Amino acid sequence: MNDLTLQDITLFRGKHCVARDLSLKFEPGKVHVILGPNGAGKSSLLRALFGEFWPQAGRIAHGEGYLTRETLRQWRKAIGYMPQDTALEASLTALEVVLLGRMDELSFHVDDATLHAAANTMEAAGIAHLASHDILSLSGGQRQLALFAQVLLRDPDILLLDEPVSALDMHHQQKLLDIVHRETRARNRISILILHDLSLAAQYADQLILIGDGELKAAGSPAEVLKADLISRTYGVDVEILTDSAGAPVVRPLRTPHATLHP
């Protein structure tokens, strides 16, 4: 398996520059987490990797191949992409939604092996009991887990997950990120996630990538990136960095000393 690289990427959304001359390397077998304030350009970067936007300059490469309009179809075959906006309108059961992850190769025929794989994936994600439920009747978190299972069923070389735990409780956040971590290692997959919880990211990421103001603020291990002054400057919040019992950094925002509400 080869590295996925951004090579001197410049990316605009409208008039807003979300990346200028950005170069990054994503290695197989590692979990990479992109961090940054709202509007920093995290989703735009992920969508560019999926070929939904074309950078104004630079190249995106995977091994010998480059992402171009001509290679887009082939490029996407290697990718499992879960967007941030997971709104669904079709009335399908949770199992049918998961099976859509393999639809391109199934020609709408579901064989026993695929059904078995879908059932196993749902079991791993903790939603086996919801298989026959209408997807629209599920809670936001349950739906997020079903869409995660759909992406996982593709067994992609590259996993792109845009805020995959935003609707999940602590238990399911941990379950999903444990699966991502385990499968990234076991399948030598390149996993790139967007998370807002810096401490959660520190527990699971091999590489953290912090972006803001159209530039790369830092990239490296959680201990290298999660420095109090850098986080405070990037997010505009005073923080202190603690260390958990496993040695991972914990980012704790400090409450601003407000004037009292009831003078």
Ligand X SMILES: Nc1ncnc2c1ncn2[C@@H]1O[C@H](COP(=O)(O)OP(=O)(O)OP(=O)(O)O)[C@@H](O)[C@H]1O
Element spanning 220, H or E: strand 215-220
Q: Which of residues 75-94 bind ligand X (CB under 6 A)?
A: 84
Choice between 18 and 149, CB closer to ligand X: 18
With contact defined as beta carbons under 8 Å apart, do 99 and 92 qualify? no
Q: Which of residues 162-181 bind ligand X (CB under 6 A)?
A: none
CB atoms within 10 A of CB 70: 9
Q: How far is the CB of 41 from ligand X (least distance, A)?
A: 4
Going from the C-alpha of 1 to that of each of 30, 106, 122, 190, the distances in angstroms are: 12, 25, 27, 9
Assess 133 for contact with ligand X (CB under 6 A): no
Assess 39 for contact with ligand X (CB under 6 A): yes
Choice between 37 and 126, CB closer to ligand X: 37
Q: Are strands 190-194 and 30-35 parallel, antiparallel or unpaired?
A: parallel
Q: With CB under 6 A as the contact rule, which of the stretches 32-40, 99-107, 165-173, 249-257 interacts with ligand X? A: 32-40
Assess 13 for contact with ligand X (CB under 6 A): yes
Q: How far is the CB of 28 from ligand X (least distance, A)?
A: 24
Rounded to whole angstroms, the Cα distance separating 173 from 164 reads 8
**Which of 32, 42, 143, 175 contacts ligand X by CB under 6 A?**
42
Assess 191 for contact with ligand X (CB under 6 A): no
Smallest CA-to-CA distance from 95 within 123, 71, 70 is with 123
Rounded to whole angstroms, the Cα distance separating 239 from 249 reads 12
Assess 36 for contact with ligand X (CB under 6 A): yes
Rounded to whole angstroms, the Cα distance separating 69 from 13 reads 19
Q: How far is the CB of 201 from ligand X (least distance, A)?
A: 13
- With vertex at residue 62, the alpha carbon angle to CA 157 and CA 85, rounded to the nearest 5 degrees, is 60
With contact defined as beta carbons under 8 Å apart, do 143 and 168 qualify? no
Q: How far is the CB of 192 from ligand X (least distance, A)?
A: 13
Assess 38 for contact with ligand X (CB under 6 A): yes
Q: How far is the CB of 42 from ligand X (least distance, A)?
A: 4
Element spanning 13, H or E: strand 4-13
Most distant CA pair in the chain, distance: 69
Q: How far is the CB of 36 from ligand X (least distance, A)?
A: 5
Q: With CB under 6 A as the contact rule, which of the stretches 38-46, 106-114, 136-144, 180-188 interacts with ligand X? A: 38-46
DSSP secondary structure code for residue 89 in this structure: -
Assess 41 for contact with ligand X (CB under 6 A): yes
Q: Which residues of this protein are in contact with ligand X, per CB under 6 A?
A: 13-14, 16, 18, 36, 38-44, 84
